[in-house]
Structure 1
Amino acid sequence: MNRLTAAIAASGFACFALLYTPQPVMPQIAAEYGLGPGSASLALSAATLALAVVVVPIAMLSERVGRRPVIVVSVLVAALLGLVLPFAPNYELFLGLRVLQGIAAAGVPAASMAYLADALDKKKLGAAMGAMIAGNSLGGMSGRLVTGMTVDWLGWRGSVLLAGVFGLVAALIVVFFLPKAQAMPKRAPSGMKAALKDPVLLSMYAVAVLLVGTFISFYNVAGFQLSGPAWLETLVFLFYGFGSTAAAFAGRLADRFGRGRVLLLCIAVLAAGALASLVWVPLGLAIVTAGFFASHTTASGWVAARAPSHARGQASGLYLAGFYVGSSIGGTSGATAYEEWGWGGLVLVLLGWLALAAMLVVCSQSSPVNSAPSGASRGTAPTPPYARYEGVGAAPRATRLDTKWAGEG
């Protein structure tokens, strides 16, 4: 892992560790502030909803001021807010700080994908994207584990503060190790239009909604199927370790075999995990977690590689907006299905979502590769006919003739 990839992974670690730290200590927060479960859940959803609202505007901002400044300011402000958060004297101020933290954290996912696409050639992009997603999953896991495992000794305020310290250390790694851009690329004014008119990109935004909706639904209702001490239930987040490994592996596979094929395989793993949960819920969660992070790595890498350079920020932002829409609306819909029809009914609903995602991927594989955008060199060799379709088995050498704009790697 080189300096650039390590710094991007650290930014994801810090962002997602800070974002999800309150989840394991919601009962303690509710007890201190006199809240019910619904009100206590705002400790998480206030930040994620704020992130979903601002991720596209911040992605557009990164097109103008540069990716690195957005990432650095984002991770530093989010970390500093994490240190202030446990000292909130009332729940209203706590939620206000969480909203600000969600807005601050949005800069990392909004700019990181486009930063990697700008800095690396496409043959290295999948592995780097896998490292980024691995950092995200490790951050989400670590933030939850730190608070969940220490709350009995430190109280929720002490455990959240400790997680904030971890986030600040990771943020400082980003500040000192993230390389400066070689040059600000020229940006055409039609980036949002380009990000919205490509059918493959539109499909990937929808795939993000379906995949994260499936994943969050499982974790939202798993607590109703599992029972035990609070620290023991927290250990379920160790499954995120499988996600980190699967994300890095999927990125390398996508570089070698093409994103379409690998994404279909990852969706099949997700479906297998859903079915396995009917036998034993922890086994299903482990497989689902690995399949989700692998599929997220592959789909986000497809977006970064497919989008024209002047639309990468907007395309990444729209993908992530879909991600957090799936997290909120999809997660709630899955919980409703569980309440109405039980675990078996939930699995059937989620298998339907995964089937729809697979159909979108199959359609995207047969979509023509983007032509070079305006401003591209007139001397660029055209893509040969046998390499004009995503996922179609052209020879590896041929698929790399247009490494900048092809949607498959």
Structure 2
Amino acid sequence: MALAGFTCFFLLYGTQPILPQLTHEFGISPAMASLSVSAGTAAMAFLLIPLSLVSDRYGRASLMRWCLFGAAVFAFGSSFAPDYFVLLLSRICLGACIAGVPAAAMAYLGEELAPELRSRAMGLYIAANALGGMSGRLIAALVTEYLSWRHGLATLGIVGLLAAIGFLRLIPAGLHFFPQPMQLRPLYSDLRTIYADPGLPWLFWTAFLIMGAFVGLYNFLGFRLSLEPYALGPAAIGAIFLLYALGSVSSVLAGRATTRHPRHKIMLLMSCCMAAGISMTWASSLPIIIAGLAILTFGFFAVHAVASGWVGHRAGQRRGLVSALYLSSYYLGGSVIGSAAGWPWEQFHWAGVVVALLLPVLLVIAMTTLRLRRLSDS
């Protein structure tokens, strides 16, 4: 499962460090270039629920196997795109395939592991997500620096195919899976029950807001650092994504901390870290900007680990659907806010991006303080 999580993020965000190269190659604006990231995450957001129903009906492991192979094929194919429309289309198909993995992964872990192990396992799974996101961005940037962006995306596709083969050989069949019906009437009933829960809708909103702020900042920081006085190349910008290693650490630590401390307190502290990190990137000093990114990254993955583990704890019998709703909110936030941050960048430069992305994090802090603390550890 760690390999699956690694591969998804390895493939999904391959265009993020090369957005300046895409603007030059296709003659498009930074906001339009960011759609190469948002198109894939939006496809994931919209297909997570349908694929979670497929997962509930036909099984988790088989769905994840097919989807990983499909994602690797489309990742490789995107390197041959003759124009930006075809590139976007291939990234949409890639996101559609990847959606099958998280749609089944949280439910698979919830079914196959004892309750006391789920939070720690989710922390490890998200740590692999962070490592995959870091590795994919770094490899794409390095290959782009010395060859071209097309070679960078092709390299990701080849590695993704090898990882899919490894996943196929390693994943055990689910021993505690029981097929669920795909009828619409029970689905509507489940949705009403889920959104009547006092905590789940707020956790969905948390996912939307933190992912939007995180993706938005990383989307457009590369444009800022490619300009004077920094003038960094693709490899140097890609090296910034090594900070994702902090996410691997923080997600594991946060998962363990929930066994000793109330979840809402950990979320509040880590959300404040996110706000502090975003604010620090307003500075003109490159070391301070990097430090701000490190603090943001540490806080983001910790909040995500706690929130996703909390969702799994409250999910009940419909783990697949609840997981899909959480992750749909998560990726939709990355798509909507992540691309919308292009407007303040084009109008007000980096100061506009910082102000715009602080707002979602401040909303998370307010929700954690006013709403989620009432749930305690229920």
TM-score range, shorter chain: 0.7 to 0.9
- What is aligned with 2:292? 284
Q: Does 1:222 align with 2:221?
A: yes
Amino acid at match of 2:218: Y
Separation of aligned partners in 2, 1:334 and 1:255? 36
SS across alignment from 1:143: helix
Separation of aligned partners in 2, 1:32 and 1:218? 22
| CA RMSD of superposed structures (Å) | 2.4
276-285 or 132-141, which deviates more: 276-285
Give a deviation string over 1:261-319, Cα, whole Å, max 9, x none: 2212211221232343344221111100110011111111111111112x211111111
CA shift in 2, pair 1:70/1:268, >3 Å: same
Q: Which of residues 263, 266, 282 in structure 2 aligns to 1:262?
A: 266
- What is aligned with 2:47? 54
Tell me the CA shift for residue 49 of structure 1. 1.8
Amino acid at match of 2:86: L
CA shift in 2, pair 1:342/1:87, >3 Å: closer
Tell me the CA shift for residue 180 of structure 1. 0.9
Amino acid at match of 1:211: I
**Is the 8 Å Cα contact of residues 263 and 298 (structure 1) preserved in structure 2?**
yes
Tell me the CA shift for residue 38 of structure 1. 4.6
CA shift in 2, pair 1:339/1:130, >3 Å: same
CA shift in 2, pair 1:93/1:274, >3 Å: closer
Amino acid at match of 1:163: L
Aligned pairs, number = 362
CA shift in 2, pair 1:84/1:352, >3 Å: closer
SS across alignment from 2:91: helix
**Is the 8 Å Cα contact of residues 266 and 291 (structure 1) preserved in structure 2?**
yes
- What is aligned with 1:242? 246
Separation of aligned partners in 2, 1:331 and 1:97? 19
Separation of aligned partners in 2, 1:138 and 1:277? 23
**Which segments of 5 or more consecutive residues in structure 2 lack a partner in the other structure?**
none
Separation of aligned partners in 2, 1:51 and 1:186? 23
- What is aligned with 1:302? 310
- What is aligned with 2:7? 14
User: Scaled by the length of structure 2, what TM-score is found?
Assistant: 0.87
- What is aligned with 2:143? 150
Amino acid at match of 2:253: F
- What is aligned with 1:162? 155
Where in structure 2 are the equivalents of 1:318-333 lying within 5 Å? 318-333=325-340
The structure 1 segments of at least 4 consecutive aligned residues displaced by more than 6 Å after TM superposition are none
CA shift in 2, pair 1:32/1:229, >3 Å: closer
Where in structure 2 are the equivalents of 1:161-240 lying within 5 Å? 161-185=154-178, 187=180, 189=186, 190-226=189-225, 227=230, 228-240=232-244
Identity over aligned pairs, percent: 37
**Is the 8 Å Cα contact of residues 195 and 314 (structure 1) preserved in structure 2?**
no
**Is the 8 Å Cα contact of residues 225 and 281 (structure 1) preserved in structure 2?**
no
Tell me the CA shift for residue 360 of structure 1. 2.2
Q: Which of residues 104, 123, 126 in structure 1 aligns to 2:97?
A: 104
Separation of aligned partners in 2, 1:257 and 1:140? 28
SS across alignment from 1:257: coil
**Is the 8 Å Cα contact of residues 14 and 168 (structure 1) preserved in structure 2?**
no
**Is the 8 Å Cα contact of residues 209 and 326 (structure 1) preserved in structure 2?**
yes
> Who wins on radius of gyration, i.e. which is larger?
1
70-79 or 286-295, which deviates more: 70-79
**Is the 8 Å Cα contact of residues 209 and 323 (structure 1) preserved in structure 2?**
yes
**Is the 8 Å Cα contact of residues 74 and 107 (structure 1) preserved in structure 2?**
yes
Tell me the CA shift for residue 230 of structure 1. 2.5
- What is aligned with 1:355? 362
Give a deviation string over 1:91-149, Cα, whole Å, max 9, x none: 44333222211110111121111111111122111111111111111111111111110
Give a deviation string over 1:39-72, Cα, whole Å, max 9, x none: 4433322222211211111112211112212222
**Is the 8 Å Cα contact of residues 277 and 293 (structure 2) preserved in structure 1?**
yes
Where in structure 2 are the equivalents of 1:369-384 lying within 5 Å? none
Amino acid at match of 2:363: L
Q: Which of residues 298, 323, 328 in structure 2 aligns to 1:316?
A: 323
SS across alignment from 1:145: helix
CA shift in 2, pair 1:345/1:27, >3 Å: closer
Amino acid at match of 1:111: A
**Which segments of 5 or more consecutive residues in structure 1 lack a partner in the other structure?**
1-7, 368-389, 392-406
Separation of aligned partners in 1, 2:169 and 2:133? 22
**Is the 8 Å Cα contact of residues 111 and 177 (structure 2) preserved in structure 1?**
no
Tell me the CA shift for residue 259 of structure 1. 2.2
46-55 or 203-212, which deviates more: 46-55
Q: Which of residues 85, 99, 109 in structure 2 aligns to 1:116?
A: 109
